Amino acid sequence: MYLLGNAAIYLGLAMAVYSLVILMAGIKTKQQRLVNSGKGGVLAVFICTAVAAAVLLYLLGTSQFVYEYVNNYTSSELPMGYKLAALWAGNSGSLLLWTFFLTMYTAMIAYSRKMKGNPMVPYISAILLVNTIFFYIVLGFVAQPFTMLDYVPAEGRGLNPMLQNPGMIVHPVTLYLGYVGLAVPFAFAMAALILKNMDDFWIKMTRRWTIIAWLFLTLGNILGGQWAYVELGWGGYWAWDPVENASFMPWLTATAFLHSVMIQERKNMLKVWNISLIILSYALTLFGTFLVRSGVLTSVHAFADSNLGMYFLIFMGIAVVGALYVLMSRYHLLKRSAGEFTSFVSKESSFLINNLLLVGSAFAVFWGTIFPLVSEAVRGTKVTVGIPFFNTVQAPILLGMMFVMAVCPLLAWQRSSAKNLKKNFLLPSILSLAGMTLMVTLGIQKAWAVIGYGVIIFLFITHYFEFYRGVKARRKMTKERIPTALYKLMTKNRRRYGGYIVHIGIAFIAMGIIGSQNYDVETMKTLKPGESVDIEDYRITYERLDQRSEGINDIVYADLTVFKNGERLGVFQPEKIFYGNWDQPSSEVALQTSIAEDLYMVLSTWEENGTATFIIKINPMISWLWIGSVMVVIGSLFAIWNGRYQNITPKYTGVMKEVA
Amino acid sequence: MKRKLAFCFLLLLFGLQSFLLQTHATETNNENDYKSPEFKAVASQFMCTCGCGQDHYACDMAGCANTDAFKADLISMMKKGMDKDEIREYYVGMLGEEILTAPEKKGFSLTAWVLPFAAIGGAGTGIFLLLRRWVSGRGKESTPEEVLAIEDEVEEEILSSIIDEERKKYL
């Protein structure tokens, strides 16, 4: 297995180098034979990576502790699912997974039916192969996954218990798919620039791949938040940790691209800006990896004992400089076809503001993340930049973004007249103001909550109008029934209405965030068995404390009977788990979820005499966050799904085909 | 006699009330409220250094060795009448700015707070100027008819998609 694993890695590296060289030779000499050989090489590289990943999975699954990686991240009593999930628990394994996805995407593009005969394919493959070679060099010479120990340990060190959660099986995978996915639009952009061609096809394909990467990034972030919420016992879901920020920044810039590309599509403008956003998103994924694997910033997520960050920083530097060089060399061509705006108040302008806020938000996250380093370099004083900073700085920016999101759908392309504005916005404005007044009357008086919910009401109404107007217009012409008209309206313009579903999902998420951030209630109480604690409408009675063993782990748990307004909801068991192979215990939260709020119960400490201390939280509207997340996923899938009515991506008709 | 009884009853009542108040006060003294809004305002300013990545308000004591003592210190300072700013200054003086969960809003650290908004403001001004350049000259050319046509964009899109569909059926 040692030989097979290492052979797969070094052969993969050799094949990647060969494919890159032969593809470049094919492009240069215009010989399809060489390009075909390069494409075969791409497939071979993918097979090599798949073999290496399969070998590591086999070693992890069969607990072969003589391998350093297996020894460091697993133990024999670990359930099989977590043994295999240890593939992404450490540095080298996670990089192997990254390489696997990268080579998978490369092979998908090289052999895509839609891309058949497209002269961009050899360029895209070559650019992605450069990435692959970098990862293979790291896997082959810096973070080797198949290093063997001099002895055979009887038992492994085990997996960090925090990672032993179903959410952690899926969260890193989706995040990596998103991270790696952003390399694809980058490769498309570079290929288009090199070929001096940025037509409709380029836009459609790039946008599609960006949505895929964006969807996975979104899923990764949401699942990470959900894991933090149930596993860390802190009651929150987003801590603005450097690593979380690292995945949020490309998400913001990719979102900006998905909007601004519409202006390019419609008006043939902002080409340089769009390419810049793609380069930026890609660079931010590498920057994030640098943060996680360099140890320059303190993070609970960071990989221990890692010096890999510098390699990523250097690679990022090379990639960005190279990309900017290509961009500058084609600048005159991109600039030549620039169109014009006709009004300050138009959909185009709102997209520009949306881009300003999204990129501004990304910059604020970036600045906050690196500020400890800046402060240390400038003053020699370390500072911590944590939740209060990011919440304070991001709240107005993100609220502004929600407002633009609410206004944009009803603005017309090119120019919105005063009549148009009045017709579209009078009713939503009145209803939002009425809603805000009602909230204040009902006792919701925190400024952020009132303004935030007011904007969200506005958003719901404008989006409802979009659907209403569409259905009405369709029915006027086709006399269809409302459900049929709605269905056909949406399926005929998947991107538009998928986008609206995403917007509504984001509004739901925002409602959850505003509610849980502003109206959470928390108490901490030490109770004797039989005693109760009251918090809002709940009475929680502490029944008993007990202990049980599961494998090598000891679990201390408390039975809590929960009543709401006198009605018994059941017995809940918050736990504290002491791991046989890990120093730190972890909290297993007991959760009573409803659409209105979560009752969040944590067993904190206890005494010999049976008294125990509990942290009880009421987190309002958390479920809205998860419902919104599901809607975001549904909307994204709806937008990229190739339905029966969907326009088929146009066949490539761009620059003259030489090799493909 | 009735008066004496009433007086005794009142005395008993006051006594009981004092006792209850005393007991309540003692209870409050014995059990520190680590989840009160006042304590949250103070403790959430400070970063726990045990590696949990949370502030001292959020850090759960069982998993962390040093937050227990830190919280007790905070409570004793609060009892001495120190407000959250005084407590912050005390710790920053002793342990440096790194102990805070967010940079201070003065000196060089102020740039952390200001720069994002300055950047957005600068870029926003740039966009406005760019828009003005793009719009100037073009805006005057558009006729009211053009504007009206654009307003019914949704109808146009739907109509064109229906025409497309019909065309595909018959051609």
pLDDT at A591: 93
Domain boundary among A475, A499, A516: A516
Torsion of CA A489, A492, A493, A495, to 10 degrees: 120
Asked if A598 contacts A592 with a C-beta cutoff of 8 angstroms, the reply is: yes
Q: Are residues A394 and A408 in the same domain?
A: no
Written as one letter, the residue type at A623 is: S
Chain A touched by B75 (CB under 8 Å): no
Per the CB < 8 Å rule, is B134 touching A340?
A: yes
Query: Counting every residue, how long is chain A?
Result: 660
Mutant choice from A369, A387, A408 vs B, greatest count of B C-beta within 10 A: A387
Q: Which of A113-117, A390-394, A411-415 has the lowest mean pLDDT?
A: A411-415
Is the model more confident about A302 or about A124? A124
A578 touches B at CB < 8 Å = no
The ipTM assigned to this model is: 0.85
Kindly tell me if the per-residue pLDDT of A105 is higher than 70.
Answer: yes
CB atoms within 10 A of CB A54: 14
A649 in a structural domain: no
Contact between residue A594 and residue A622 where contact means Cβ atoms under 8 Å apart: no
Contact: A381, B63; criterion CB under 8 Å: no
Phi, psi values for residue A77, rounded to 5°: -85, -5
Alpha-carbon span A397 to A357, nearest angstrom = 6
- The answer to whether position A474 is within a domain reads yes
A565 touches chain B (CB under 8 A): no
Cα–Cα dist A42/B54, whole Å: 45
Three-state DSSP state, B171: coil
Q: Chain B neighbours among A 460-489 (CB < 8 Å)? A: 466, 469-470, 473-474, 476-478, 489
pLDDT in tens, A400-450: 999 999 998 888 776 667 777 787 888 889 999 999 999 999 888 888 899
**Same domain (yes/no): A575, A610:** yes
Handedness of CA A620, A625, A628, A630 (dihedral sign): negative
* CA-based radius of gyration for chain A: 27
In this structure, the answer to whether residues A475 and A361 fall within a common structural domain is no
User: With left for phi above 0 and alpha for psi between -120 and 50, is residue A530 left, alpha or beta?
Assistant: left
Task: Show the tokens assigned to B54.
Answer: 């949370």
Rounded to whole angstroms, the Cα distance separating A573 from A558 reads: 5
Which chain A residues touch B98 with a CB distance below 8 Å? 381-384
d(Cα A204, Cα A118) in Å, to the nearest integer?
Answer: 14
| pLDDT value at residue A638 | 93
Topology of domain B33-102 in CATH is: Helicase, Ruva Protein; domain 3 (1.10.8)
Indicate yes or no: CB of B127 within 8 angstroms of CB of A353: yes
Q: Are residues A599 and A613 in the same domain?
A: yes
**Residue A641 included in any domain:** no
- C-alpha distances in angstroms, A507 versus A59, A300, A500, A512? 45, 29, 10, 9
Count CA atoms within 13 Å of residue A128 on its CB side.
Answer: 36
User: Which of A370, A402, A434 is the last residue before a domain boundary?
Assistant: A402
Residues A505 and A579 in one domain: no
Name the helix (H) or strand (E) containing A471. helix A447-478
Q: Identify the CA nearest to A319 among candidates A365, A291, A278.
A: A278
Q: Which DSSP category does B139 fall into?
A: G
Which strand (E) or helix (H) includes residue B116? Answer: helix B110-135
**Paired tokens of B130:** 């760019």
Residue of B nearest to A524 (CA): B35
The pair phi, psi for residue A591, each rounded to 5°, is -130, 130
For residue A17, the enclosing domain spans 1-159
In a domain, A654, yes or no: no
**Domain assignment present for A382:** yes
- What would the pLDDT profile of A522-580 be if each residue is shown by its tens digit? 888 899 999 999 999 999 999 999 999 988 889 999 999 999 999 999 999 999 988 88
- pLDDT of A583 above 50: yes
Cα separation values, A298 from A88, A386, A545, B49, B97, Å: 20, 11, 36, 11, 15
What is residue A516's predicted lDDT score, i.e. its pLDDT?
92
B138 pLDDT exceeds 70?
no
Percent residues over pLDDT 70 in chain A: 94
Determine the distance in angstroms separating the CA of B18 from the nearest CA of chain A, rounded to an integer: 25
What does the DSSP 8-state code read for residue B47? B
User: Boundaries of CATH 1.10.8 in chain B?
Assistant: 33-102
A608: amino acid identity, one letter:
E
Tell me which of B104 and B146 has the higher pLDDT: B104
Q: Look at residue B156 and tell me whether its pLDDT is greater than 80.
A: no
Of B102, B141, B161, the CB nearest to A386: B102
Residue of B nearest to A370 (CA): B112
d(CA A225, CA A243): 12
Same domain for A182 and A77: no
Structural domain contains residue A648: no
What does the mean pLDDT of chain A come to?
A: 88
Instruction: Decide: helix, strand or coil at residue A559.
Output: strand
Angle A453-A455-A461 from CA coordinates, rounded to 5°: 100
- Based on the fold, state whether residues A313 and A344 are members of the same structural domain: yes
| Contacts with B157 from chain A: Cβ below 8 Å | 493
